[in-house]
């Protein structure tokens, strides 16, 4: 632009004539015309040009028009060259030439040197202008179309627009016809508005529902412009539509809005307090949980007001900690007591982090406050509990350890346990696997896992455990427990292991077992019958003796039971007594008969004694049954003997008494009766006989008692056995005249012995021979040599004889053969016993040979006297 001073200078140079010319030209030419001076400075313009350039007056035009710009400078150059220019297109930005073409003709007036520029506006023909529509707009990212006429007939549309409407055949159709689905969406009304008003319409984020083909409706959002198209007269004859699909942007925005809403909602609904502070540390935001929790309001909580709700004891610490974090842009983490609206202080956990904006500038802190009161109390409880457990474990005498977690971490183990393991304190804190690798392959890891999952306590009883102690794998035996430990929620968190070393006990038990086996072996070898019965009365052991006796096998014996083997007469009492002992634990003793394998009952002495444990409870009964059949028989014989003795004693005494009374009564009646008529002799003889019998009886009894007391004293002398035998037979012959006793004296000798006793033996043998030979009355007595230095004296009868069974028994005390349905022979059953005892004491012996019904031969053999040895 030429400044005013310059212009005035130029004007001074111009002649008035020239100026007038310029004015004339401007006034006379209708078409827009611009008059420039020689130096291309503005001189004048006519109203047509003012119109064209849409300015009110010339001075405005002068301002607008820069004649030094490229267009005018080029024009100037060309003019100077050619003097004149025609139909040069005006291409300066100062004039809106969007829908028109401005052509200029220019020439320099020869005389004046004035430059005359005329402007001609050429309306751009529609066909010409829109010819390359598709070319121009097809690449455009926008959807573009041109509607013509008040009906909005599609004139043109670019590819994007066709895409938008699903490539429908729209050209030549009204919008109504082409896109009927737009009905009711407001677009028709908008188009009408633009068409009628001639004013453009801009739509932002307008939702549109279009048929995308195949009957599918598509929802989109568009930004669009309806720009009216004016014809040459400035009248609207169409609408230029320019639209951009911003669906994605809108949905993204909507989503963002939604998530923002959600976030806001979340912030208000999370069960946590959320806070935001500014760079200066002042409270900027607290979600509603804060206000609900503390009962504070916005006013009281703002800035640092929130600290008023912190427990006075914690306040300083919290404030300091928060400010430090804020100043150092560091994490904030504090646990403190916060007063709730009920006035109760609850433990909370407050944590925050520094917050930066997109430029990386510190904006303050953001954080949360969580109520951890219950957890804190629980934690305290657990800590207390743990403390308790720890002190229990440490103080326990029993080996105790605590493992935690599935991996069985050794949390604690007292000295006793560490010693038991043969390890040191370094195992604490390691896992059981690490601490005791030797347990691998032993059942304990599995057991622990089972307890950990099921919670069921495991009781180990005398379980063998192999442990490496002093670098040696050693087997120990332990009673132990694995007990699950639970937290407040009942969840298992660990296992308490307590163990007692019972190795010694197990080993001694094994020894006991060994000796028990030996004892059983021994018991089985005993002829005695042995039983073990438990505290409930159940037979738990019986020895071989029972099987041998009853002929039953183990199973049969068990099934039958002892009771059924007892003689029915004793069974009831036996059961009663046994019951009593079982109840009281008192010793049991009773004689009963048991059935043997031959079907016979034999007397047994039963004894049972209870063995008690240290608490006085019955552990076991040891029972024995000893066969006492023989003792019983002897007892019976003794009983029989006593009966017999009293009878035998009574008989002579009664007889003597009878004779004495007879004689006395006869003597009292002596008047009239001669003394000779009284049968003194026969009576006294009888009395004497009875006295002899009595004496014998008494002396036998005396002998018996002497022998029993081992007080039988022998008064030995040397005498002729032949004489003794001879004298004795004579004596017997004297009283037993019916018998024919023959003596065979083959051998003469002396013996050194108790003469009376030997005589007694012989008398016994001979009187027996007489007694037991009721029919054949021949008795042979012989004295014979019996080997070296021995003499045998035999007494042989042909009497009733003795059966084999009784042969050995007759020498027993009180043994008398039981003659059933036969004659009974008086006697006490001690004669042969005494004879045998006497012979034994003389180092001799007595033997018998006999056959039932054929008589007997009794022989006693004694040493001959030394004197005899020489003969
Ligand atoms: P007793 O006083 O009964 O005769 P002993 O001891 O002398 O007692 O004899 C025992 C038993 O031996 C007798 O009861 C009898 O049965 C039997 N006995 C003894 N001697 C004879 C004999 N010579 N012949 C048959 N039996 C005899």
* Distance from residue 182's CA to the centre of ligand 1 (Å): 153
Closest CA to 338 of 284, 279, 272: 272
Q: Poorest-confidence range of 363-367, 570-574, 819-823?
A: 819-823
pLDDT of residue 134: 57
- Atom of ligand 1 at shortest distance to CA of 800? 25
* Distance from residue 772's CA to the centre of ligand 1 (Å): 7
* Distance from residue 602's CA to the centre of ligand 1 (Å): 26
* Distance from residue 601's CA to the centre of ligand 1 (Å): 28
Q: What is the pLDDT of residues 237-252, one digit of tens each?
A: 899 999 988 888 888 8
* Distance from residue 643's CA to the centre of ligand 1 (Å): 18
Half-sphere CA count of 333, side-chain side, radius 13 A: 2
Q: What is the pLDDT of residues 126-156, one digit of tens each?
A: 444 455 555 667 667 788 898 988 999 998 8
Q: Considering Cα of 579, then 584, then 590, then 594, what sign does the dihedral take?
A: positive
Quick one: DSSP state of residue 624?
A: E
3-state SS class at 169:
coil
DSSP 464-479: EEEEEETTEEEEEEEE
Closest CA to 606 of 653, 647, 565, 559: 565
- Atom of ligand 1 at shortest distance to CA of 817? 16
Q: What is the pLDDT of residues 593-606, one digit of tens each?
A: 999 999 999 999 99
CA distances from 157 to 132, 136, 187, 753 (A): 12, 11, 17, 170
Is the pLDDT at 1 greater than 50? The verdict is: no
Closest CA to 96 of 60, 67, 53, 55: 53
pLDDT of residue 136: 67
List ligand 1's pocket residues with C-beta within 6 A: 764, 768-769, 772, 797, 799-802, 810, 816-817, 827-833, 856
Backbone angles phi, psi at 837, to 5 degrees: -65, -45
Mutate to test the pocket of ligand 1, among 772, 797, 812, 822 (most ligand atoms within 8 A of CB): 772
The pLDDT-based confidence of 821 (bands split at 50, 70, 90) is low
Q: Poorest-confidence range of 83-87, 238-242, 350-354?
A: 83-87
Q: What is the pLDDT of residues 686-708, one digit of tens each?
A: 888 888 878 877 888 888 888 87
User: Which residue has the CA at smallest separation from atom 7 of ligand 1?
Assistant: 831
Is the pLDDT at 84 greater than 90? The verdict is: no
pLDDT of residue 8: 46
Q: What is the pLDDT of residues 284-326, one digit of tens each?
A: 889 888 999 999 999 999 889 999 999 999 999 999 999 999 9
CA distances from 211 to 106, 144, 347 (A): 57, 18, 62
| Mean pLDDT along residues 393-401 | 83
User: Which residue has the CA at smallest separation from atom 20 of ligand 1?
Assistant: 768
User: Which residue has the CA at smallest separation from atom 8 of ligand 1?
Assistant: 829
Mutate to test the pocket of ligand 1, among 810, 824, 834, 860 (most ligand atoms within 8 A of CB): 810
pLDDT of residue 124: 56
Mutate to test the pocket of ligand 1, among 736, 768, 824 (most ligand atoms within 8 A of CB): 768
Rg (CA), the chain: 76
* Distance from residue 428's CA to the centre of ligand 1 (Å): 94
- Atom of ligand 1 at shortest distance to CA of 773? 24
- Atom of ligand 1 at shortest distance to CA of 815? 10
* Distance from residue 763's CA to the centre of ligand 1 (Å): 13
pLDDT of residue 330: 93
**pTM across the whole model:** 0.38
| Mean pLDDT along residues 94-105 | 71
DSSP 371-435: E-HHHHHHHHHHHHHHHHHHHHHHH-SSEEEEEETTTTEEEEE-HHHHHHHT--GGGTTSBHHHH
- Atom of ligand 1 at shortest distance to CA of 816? 14
Q: How far is CA 555 from the centre of its chain?
A: 42
Contacts of 306 (CB under 8 A, 6+ apart): 275, 283, 286, 290, 294, 296
- Atom of ligand 1 at shortest distance to CA of 795? 23
């Amino acid at each position: 632009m030429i400044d005013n001073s310059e212009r005035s200078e130029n004007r001074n140079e111009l002649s008035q004539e020239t100026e007038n010319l310029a004015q004339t030209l401007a006034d006379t030419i209708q078409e827009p015309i611009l008059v420039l001076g020689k130096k291309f400075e503005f001189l004048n313009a006519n109203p047509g040009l003012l119109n064209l350039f849409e300015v009110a007056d010339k001075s405005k035009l002068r301002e607008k028009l820069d004649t030094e710009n490229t267009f005018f400078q080029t024009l100037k150059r060309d003019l100077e060259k050619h003097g004149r220019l025609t139909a040069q297109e005006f291409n300066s930005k100062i004039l809106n030439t969007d829908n028109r073409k401005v052509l200029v003709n220019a020439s320099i007036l020869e005389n004046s040197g004035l430059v005359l520029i005329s402007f001609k506006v050429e309306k751009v023909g529609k066909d010409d202008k829109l010819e390359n529509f598709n070319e121009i707009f097809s690449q455009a990212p926008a959807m573009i179309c041109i509607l013509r006429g008040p009906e909005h007939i599609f004139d043109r549309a670019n590819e994007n627009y066709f895409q938008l409407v699903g490539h429908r055949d729209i050209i030549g159709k009204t919008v109504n016809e082409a896109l009927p689905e737009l009905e009711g969406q407001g677009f028709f009304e908008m188009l009408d508005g633009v068409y009628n008003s001639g004013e453009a319409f801009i739509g932002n984020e307008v939702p549109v529902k279009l048929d995308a083909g195949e009957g599918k409706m598509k929802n989109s959002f568009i930004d669009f412009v309806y720009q009216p198209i004016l014809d040459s007269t400035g009248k609207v004859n169409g609408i230029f539509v320019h639209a951009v699909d911003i669906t994605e942007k809108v949905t993204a925005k909507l989503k963002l809005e939604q998530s923002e809403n959600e976030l806001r909602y979340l912030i208000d609904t999370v069960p946590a307090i959320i806070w935001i502070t500014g760079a200066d540390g002042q409270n900027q935001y607290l979600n509603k949980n804060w206000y609900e929790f503390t009962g504070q309001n916005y006013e009281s909580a703002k800035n640092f007001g929130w600290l008023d709700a912190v427990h006075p004891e914690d306040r300083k610490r919290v404030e300091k900690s928060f400010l430090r974090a804020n100043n150092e842009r560091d994490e904030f983490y504090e646990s403190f007591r916060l007063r709730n609206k009920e006035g109760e202080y609850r433990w909370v956990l407050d944590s925050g982090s520094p917050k930066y904006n997109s430029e990386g500038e510190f904006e303050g802190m953001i954080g949360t406050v969580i109520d951890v009161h219950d957890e804190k109390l629980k934690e305290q409880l657990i800590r207390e509990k743990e403390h308790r457990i720890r002190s229990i474990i440490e103080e326990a005498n029993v080996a105790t350890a605590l493992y935690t977690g599935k991996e069985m971490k050794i949390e604690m183990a007292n000295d006793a346990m560490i010693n038991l393991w043969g390890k040191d304190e370094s195992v604490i804190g390691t896992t059981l696997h690490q601490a005791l690798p030797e347990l691998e392959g032993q059942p304990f890891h599995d057991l622990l896992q089972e307890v950990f999952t099921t919670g069921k306590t495991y009781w180990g009883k005398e379980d063998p455990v192999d442990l490496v102690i002093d670098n040696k794998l050693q087997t120990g035996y332990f009673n132990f427990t694995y007990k699950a430990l639970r937290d407040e929620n009942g969840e298992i968190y660990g296992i308490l292991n307590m163990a007692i070393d019972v190795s010694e006990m197990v080993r001694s038990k094994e020894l006991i077992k060994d000796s028990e086996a030996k004892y059983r072996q021994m018991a089985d070898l005993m002829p005695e019958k042995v039983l073990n019965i438990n505290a409930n009365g159940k037979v738990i052991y019986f020895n071989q003796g029972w099987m041998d006796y009853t002929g039953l096998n183990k199973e049969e014996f068990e099934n039958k039971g002892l009771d059924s083997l007892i003689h029915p007469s004793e069974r009831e009492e036996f059961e009663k007594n046994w019951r009593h002992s079982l109840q009281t634990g008192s010793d049991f003793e009773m004689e009963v008969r048991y059935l043997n394998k031959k079907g016979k009952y034999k007397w047994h002495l039963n004894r049972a004694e209870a063995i008690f444990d240290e608490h006085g409870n019955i552990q076991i009964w040891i029972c024995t049954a000893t066969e006492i059949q023989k003792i019983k028989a002897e007892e019976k014989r003794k009983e029989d003997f006593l009966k017999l003795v009293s009878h035998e004693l009574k008989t002579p005494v009664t007889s003597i008494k009878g004779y004495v009374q007879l004689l006395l009564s006869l003597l009292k009646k002596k008047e009239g009766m001669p003394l000779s008529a009284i049968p003194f002799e026969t009576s006294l003889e009888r009395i004497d006989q009875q006295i002899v019998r009595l004496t014998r009886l008494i002396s036998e009894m005396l002998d018996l008692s002497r022998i029993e007391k081992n007080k039988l004293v022998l008064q030995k002398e040397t005498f002729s056995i032949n004489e003794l035998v001879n004298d004795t037979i004579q004596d017997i012959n004297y009283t037993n005249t019916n018998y024919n006793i023959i003596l065979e004296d083959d051998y003469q000798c002396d013996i050194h012995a108790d003469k009376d006793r030997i005589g007694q033996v012989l008398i016994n043998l001979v009187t027996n021979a007489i007694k037991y030979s009721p029919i054949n009355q021949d008795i042979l007595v012989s004295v014979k040599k019996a080997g070296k230095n021995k003499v045998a004296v035999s007494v042989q009868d042909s009497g009733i004889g003795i059966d084999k069974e009784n042969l050995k028994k007759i020498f027993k005390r009180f043994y008398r053969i039981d003659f059933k349905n036969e004659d009974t022979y008086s006697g006490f059953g001690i004669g042969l016993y005494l004879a045998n005892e006497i012979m034994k004491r003389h180092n001799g012996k007595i033997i018998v040979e006999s056959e039932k019904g054929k008589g007997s031969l009794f022989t006693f053999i004694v040493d001959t006297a030394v004197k005899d040895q020489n003969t």
